[in-house]
């Protein structure tokens, strides 16, 4: 992307307004200048490696935290046995205090685990969004224009959120589900191996069911995401073109179509939420069927005073008691709960992978923006035996012309004669034959940084940010913008604006007239004028009197620039250094105004036609 926003399409400009990642929050530890520490952003494993010490903290706190959860059923059973055995109050109090201490330790490490996982999630989200934003903003206009704003919003925010949420859930559930499941299972085998194996059959069935349902949940989630993207696009469109639709009486019809999309949006979201929220309790219900053999066999063990399969001396009573049975059944219920969470784990991973697949094509190693490089070999723009041949024919054939800094070359001609095409040659957007040298270097060989440092391009489509007049001109630079606003005759306009240059222009300049938008874009181009200044139809929405005044005012600001003034309006052309008239069939005429009036019929016809139109407008 080059300096002047007119380089980008309206679509690209909207992307800039809506895709900028806001990375604030107490958990965000990744700074912009350290984003590229993720060596291989296209590989998911790289994000865990990039936060290796955070992941170490997650691992340690996760293991301690989940092992500590065994304290709840253990102390519950132990307290029941102490009370039933009529132990001294001191023993009960000691056991109770130990239980409270275990809870405090558990909660401390749980807080550490939750905090570090959030740090990892926010760091990863920042890395992915910044990489995605950076790559999207460096895509070509042609590639970006294939996507709509709603899709890009979904990709940058919702899809990224979904991918990161999958990574967070995977990191969390490794401990909260998998590790804890293993702890509970091992603990149950200490009590009774056979009973535990019987009880695990429904648990196994529930896990398999959760695994098989993940595809259905994913498909419904995918359809919901598509509708959400459509909803974002239509919402943005209604806001952006509200006045236009109202003017032509289409606002009612559009709202009906919008209501239809809204109904579809609600339908899919309700279905998605219903399935997502019912699958976990349903899986839990299947797993809890295992409570039947537990109650049947466990009560028999207590009644008979059977021995435990593997009792830990000093920690576990070697025989079945009411307390031991309570510990077992509580642990089993917790195990079933964790088995049901596998549904959430599988679904989150599936959603995360689907989100990642959608953003993966734009996740590439961070590529910094090119720095502006100034060319200083000479002060001329030279076209030698220069031709432009496109699919629709030859627009220019064998043109030889030089423009020095401080000179203004006017370019005009009939519609579709190649005026704008010629200007875009210097942005490396148009192929050409012959030579085109920019200050001593062939245009084909220019790097992006060299184009940034030497070309300012103002397109004939006005591109404005949803920001103040000042920021639309300065783009963050500190130079005063007032002289440039005066140069484009904006003083009278600002008298009606209480905030002057601090006035917000509305959504992409909505509050400004077409002429005001055009003059604001011209002020920006003058503010950032480089060695070559290409102005494509800068006075299309400005009256002739204002045009002549502006052209006189801007002279001091372009004395260090070679200027290509592309225009179908010719009122200011008599004052230009030279004029290039393109005929559209490959031929052209080059000279001063008076010369061309005599020698070139196309130019003479254009001038006479505009003079006649001007007379009619005056009447």
Q: What is the DSSP string of 239-301?
A: HHTHHHHHHTT-HHHHHHHHHHHHHHHHHHHHHHHHHHHHHHHHHHHHHGGGHHHHHHHHHHH
Bridge partners of 403, per DSSP, are 381
**pLDDT-based confidence at 580, cuts 50/70/90?**
very high
What's the confidence (pLDDT) of residue 220?
79
Please give the sequence-ordered ranges of beta strands (E in DSSP) within 307-416, or none if there are none.
380-390, 393-404, 408-412
Highest mean pLDDT among 121-125, 359-363, 611-615: 121-125
Of residues 111 and 127, more confidence is placed in 111
Q: How far apart are CA 82 and CA 95, in angstroms?
A: 9
What's the confidence (pLDDT) of residue 146?
60
What's the confidence (pLDDT) of residue 572?
82
Residues in the chain: 619
Domain architecture of the chain: domains with CATH: 15-362 (1.20.1560.10), 380-618 (3.40.50.300)
Residues 6+ away with beta carbon under 8 Å from 545? none
Segment 135-152 mean pLDDT: 61
Q: How far apart are CA 592 and CA 576, in angstroms?
A: 8
What's the confidence (pLDDT) of residue 9?
41
Q: Given a cut of 70, is residue 49 above it in pLDDT?
A: yes
Q: How far apart are CA 422 and CA 411, in angstroms?
A: 9
Of residues 191 and 41, more confidence is placed in 191
Summarised one tens digit per residue, pLDDT across range 325-368 is 999 999 898 888 877 777 777 777 777 777 777 777 777 776 67
Token pair of 596 as six digits: 């061309």
Q: How far apart are CA 145 and CA 4, in angstroms?
A: 18
Look at residue 391 and give its three-state secondary structure.
coil
- Average pLDDT in the chain: 79
Rg (CA), the chain: 36
Summarised one tens digit per residue, pLDDT across range 146-176 is 655 555 555 566 677 777 877 887 787 777 7
Backbone phi and psi for residue 372, each to the nearest 5 degrees, phi listed first: -65, 130
Q: How far apart are CA 407 and CA 561, in angstroms?
A: 7
């Amino acid at each position: 992307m080059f300096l002047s926003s007119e380089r980008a399409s309206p679509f690209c400009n909207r992307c800039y307004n809506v895709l900028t990642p806001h990375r604030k929050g107490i958990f965000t530890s990744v700074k912009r200048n350290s984003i590229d520490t993720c060596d291989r952003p296209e590989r998911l494993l790289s994000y865990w490696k990039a936060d290796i010490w955070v992941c170490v903290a997650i691992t340690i706190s996760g293991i301690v935290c989940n092992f500590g959860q065994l304290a709840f059923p253990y102390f519950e059973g132990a307290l029941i046995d102490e009370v039933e055995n009529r132990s001294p109050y001191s023993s009960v109090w000691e056991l109770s205090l130990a239980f409270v201490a275990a809870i405090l330790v558990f909660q401390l490490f749980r807080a550490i685990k939750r905090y570090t996982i959030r740090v990892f999630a926010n760091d990863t989200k920042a890395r992915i969004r910044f990489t995605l934003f950076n790559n999207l903003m460096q895509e070509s206009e042609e590639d970006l224009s294939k996507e709509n704003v709603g899709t890009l919003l979904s990709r940058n925010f919702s899809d990224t959120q979904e991918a990161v949420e999958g990574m967070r859930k995977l990191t969390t559930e490794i401990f909260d589900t998998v590790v804890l499941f293993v702890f509970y299972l091992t603990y149950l085998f200490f009590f009774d191996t056979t009973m535990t194996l019987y009880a695990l059959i429904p648990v196994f069935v529930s896990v398999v069911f959760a695994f098989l349902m993940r595809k259905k949940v994913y498909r419904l989630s995918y359809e919901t995401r598509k509708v959400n993207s459509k909803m974002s696009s239509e919402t943005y469109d209604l806001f952006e073109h509200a006045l236009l639709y109202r003017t032509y009486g289409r606002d009612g019809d559009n709202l009906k179509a919008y209501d239809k999309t809204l109904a579809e949006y609600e339908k899919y979201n309700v279905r998605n939420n219903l399935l997502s929220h019912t699958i976990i309790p349903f899986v839990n219900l299947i797993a809890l069927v295992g409570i039947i053999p537990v109650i049947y066999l466990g009560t028999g063990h207590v009644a008979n005073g059977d021995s435990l399969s593997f009792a830990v001396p000093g920690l576990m009573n070697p025989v079945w008691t009411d307390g031991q049975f309570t510990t077992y059944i509580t642990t089993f219920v917790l195990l079933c709960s964790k088995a049901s969470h596998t549904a959430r784990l599988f679904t989150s991973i599936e959603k995360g992978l689907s989100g990642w697949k959608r953003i993966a094509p734009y996740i590439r190693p961070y590529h910094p923006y090119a720095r502006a490089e100034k060319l200083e070999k000479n002060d001329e723009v030279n076209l030698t035996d220069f031709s432009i041949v496109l699919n629709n024919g030859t627009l220019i054939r064998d043109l030889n012309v030089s423009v020095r800094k401080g000179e203004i070359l006017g370019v005009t001609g009939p519609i579709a004669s190649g005026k704008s095409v010629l200007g875009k040659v210097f942005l490396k957007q148009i192929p050409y034959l012959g030579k085109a040298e920019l200050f001593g270097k062939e245009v084909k060989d220019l790097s992006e940084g060299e184009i940034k440092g030497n070309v300012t391009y103002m397109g004939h489509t006005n591109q404005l940010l949803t920001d103040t007049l000042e920021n639309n001109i300065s783009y963050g630079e500190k130079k005063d913008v007032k002289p440039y606003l005066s140069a484009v005759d904006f003083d009278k306009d600002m008298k009606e604006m209480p905030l002057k240059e601090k006035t917000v222009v509305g959504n992409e300049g909505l509050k400004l007239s077409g002429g005001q938008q055009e003059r604001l874009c011209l002020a920006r181009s003058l503010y950032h004028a480089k060695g070559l200044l290409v102005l494509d139809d800068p006075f299309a929405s400005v009256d002739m009197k204002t045009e002549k005044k502006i052209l006189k005012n801007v002279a001091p600001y372009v004395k260090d620039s070679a200027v290509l003034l592309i225009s179908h309006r010719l009122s200011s052309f008599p004052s230009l250094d030279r004029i290039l008239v393109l005929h559209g069939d490959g031929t052209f005429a080059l000279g001063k105004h008076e010369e061309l009036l005599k020698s070139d019929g196309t130019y003479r016809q254009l001038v006479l036609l505009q003079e006649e139109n001007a007379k009619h407008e005056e009447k």
